[in-house]
Amino acid sequence: AQKITQTQPGMFVQEKEAVTLDCTYDTSDPSYGLFWYKQPSSGEMIFLIYQGSYDQQNATEGRYSLNFQKARKSANLVISASQLGDSAMYFCAMREGRGNNDMRFGAGTRLTVKP
């Protein structure tokens, strides 16, 4: 069974600095996708970034990048130049196989950006 682990319940970062949110996963399927979502207090889950298990390069989307270390089964999210609006819950998720399986989520990390 697939499992996602986020070991940091809460993180603090100073505005304009970079922060890394950790995520490790466990799967025996060679084909899988990894996702990061942001959930502000409003409740909506906002898609941030995607990494496929066969992707050779780390994914990047603006200020977000994914540090994908396949052998270690880790997929850490790096947010550069933090902004106050980045304060939210962040969830790591994984979907196994070719996309017809459900997405499983980690417990989340609450990020607080300090001015």
Question: Which residues contact another protein by CB under 8 A?
Answer: 33, 35, 37, 42-47, 50, 52, 91, 95, 99-108
CA distance 4 to 1: 10
> Which of 25/35 has CB closer to another protein?
35
Q: How many residues does the chain have?
A: 115
Residue 85 corresponds to which tokens in the numbers above? 């609006």
Residue 83 Cβ vs another protein, minimum distance, rounded to whole Å: 22
> Which of 25/95 has CB closer to another protein?
95
Residue 57 Cβ vs another protein, minimum distance, rounded to whole Å: 14
CA distance 31 to 11: 31
Residue 42 Cβ vs another protein, minimum distance, rounded to whole Å: 6
> Which of 12/40 has CB closer to another protein?
40
Give how far the C-alpha of residue 113 lies from the chain's centroid of Cα atoms, to the nearest Å: 17
HSE value, Cβ hemisphere, 13 Å, CA-based, for 70: 14
The answer to whether the Cα torsion of 76, 40, 32, 27 is positive or negative is positive
Residue 115 Cβ vs another protein, minimum distance, rounded to whole Å: 27
> Which of 84/107 has CB closer to another protein?
107
